[in-house]
Structure 1
Amino acid sequence: MTIVTNLFISLYIKLFFLLTPFFVLSVFLSFIEDMDVIEQRKLAIRVTISVLVIVLTLYFAGNPIFSTLGITLDGFRVGAGSLLFLSAVSLVSGKRTRPEPEDDTDVAVVPLAIPITVGPATIGTLLILGAELGGATERLIGAASLIAACLTVGLMLFVAPALKRVIGSMGLAVLTKITGLILSAMAAQIVFTGVANFLS
């Protein structure tokens, strides 16, 4: 039971930061400036549902995609790890900007779910995670931790104005940069694993 709990907590923490929650929160706050509380919460719920559907689809699609395209997991690790590192650098440097929504799209899906919460680097990392967790038990733990991470981010969006009052704009900026540092370490680990497996 301890091994299961440790795996769940480890994956939950990684996935929580992978979703760049504090950057997502700051972008979400900019979208809800002219909304009343009910509209804000409805948008938060729609974003959470959209993200859940997207990440679970990606998580379970890893192996079929790799086998269909003939891409090795280690090759994908190097590519996805590099993308994740670039994403981390943009968070640390403060150069990651919010994409503007198109007129005919639901902002809960585009751009809030994709690409703000689930960007290219997140997509690649989720595909790797789903493919490298071997047994059924590990895959279920991974799915549970992914759901928990998404719901945590969704809860943050649900209470976004209150969180902003507690953390403040400066606090959000600092937490976003810390997220970038954590993601850069994750990216390095993914790349090193891929390279090491190639050379072994």
Structure 2
Amino acid sequence: MDFRIEDLLTVTFTLFAVIDIVGSVPLLISLKGKIGGIRSFQATLVSGALMILFLYAGKPFLKVLGLDIHSFAVGGSIVIFLLGLEMVLGHEIFKGDKDAKSGSMVPIAFPIIAGSGTLTTIMSLKANFEALYILVGILINLVVVYVVLKSLKHIERMLGPAGLLAVRKFFGVILLAIAVRIFSSNIGAFGFK
């Protein structure tokens, strides 16, 4: 197999856009305050494991659980919608339990980093690209995710309280829109119009 850099760039940038770790910064800063810290390496590792699992065993894994990709996407979209609503309205929906270990897993590793959109995209990319390109694209994106998670304190200082609030509300609306898009493009599979 000839290695095509264009294919790698396409896969990497597609995953970067879907993961949207930069757009998730206000949400991550908010969650960090609630759970008392984010374990950057653990969150990166768990989200990476989920992505790689879905690359190689996505459809069979869901089938074993009796789920299809549409059910998975609708469930993920509801969680994303509630997170967006919390950001826009400023009301707490997800109660912080100050357990950074579980907070790094849910909702940070899933569904924020390795959400239904990311996992669905990985399975969709597999139809057009070799698994090697997707694997390398995932690894490149995981490096970016880790750097962003480690830099949250610096980013928070740089934005300041007013900037953080403005960015948080803006990206809350973006999250709501993404959740509605994922929900509406998958709910039709259940016979709803």
Output the TM-score relative to the length of structure 2. Answer: 0.71
Deviation of 1:121 (Å): 6.2
Q: Does 1:101 align with 2:98?
A: yes
Residue in structure 1 matching 2:29, options 11, 25, 30: 25
Counterpart contact for 2:80–2:175, Cα < 8 Å: yes
**How far, CA to CA, are the matches of 1:78 and 1:181 in structure 2?**
18
Q: Judging changes above 3 Å, is the alpha-carbon distance between structure 1 residues 174 and 67 closer, same or farther for their aligned structure 2 residues?
A: same
Aligned counterparts, 1:1-200, within 5 A:
1-2=5-6, 4-17=8-21, 20-28=24-32, 47-62=39-54, 63=58, 64-96=60-92, 99-102=96-99, 107=100, 109-111=101-103, 113-115=104-106, 117-120=108-111, 124-125=115-116, 126-134=118-126, 135-137=130-132, 139-157=134-152, 160=153, 162-195=154-187
State the secondary structure of the residue aligned to 1:101: coil
Counterpart contact for 1:88–1:183, Cα < 8 Å: yes
Structure 1: any 5+ residue segments left out of the alignment?
33-42
**How far, CA to CA, are the matches of 1:123 and 1:14 in structure 2?**
9
Q: Judging changes above 3 Å, is the alpha-carbon distance between structure 1 residues 99 and 176 closer, same or farther for their aligned structure 2 residues?
A: same
**How far, CA to CA, are the matches of 1:30 and 1:69 in structure 2?**
32
Q: Quick one: which amino acid aligns to residue 57 of structure 1?
A: A
Counterpart contact for 2:19–2:114, Cα < 8 Å: no
Deviates more, 1:132-141 or 1:174-183: 132-141
Alpha-carbon RMSD across the aligned residues, in angstroms, is 3.3
Counterpart contact for 2:11–2:125, Cα < 8 Å: no
**How far, CA to CA, are the matches of 2:26 and 2:91 in structure 1?**
14
Deviation of 1:142 (Å): 4.5
Deviation of 1:66 (Å): 0.5
State the secondary structure of the residue aligned to 1:92: helix
Deviation of 1:68 (Å): 0.9
Counterpart contact for 1:18–1:183, Cα < 8 Å: no
Output the TM-score relative to the length of structure 1. Answer: 0.69
Deviation of 1:183 (Å): 1.9
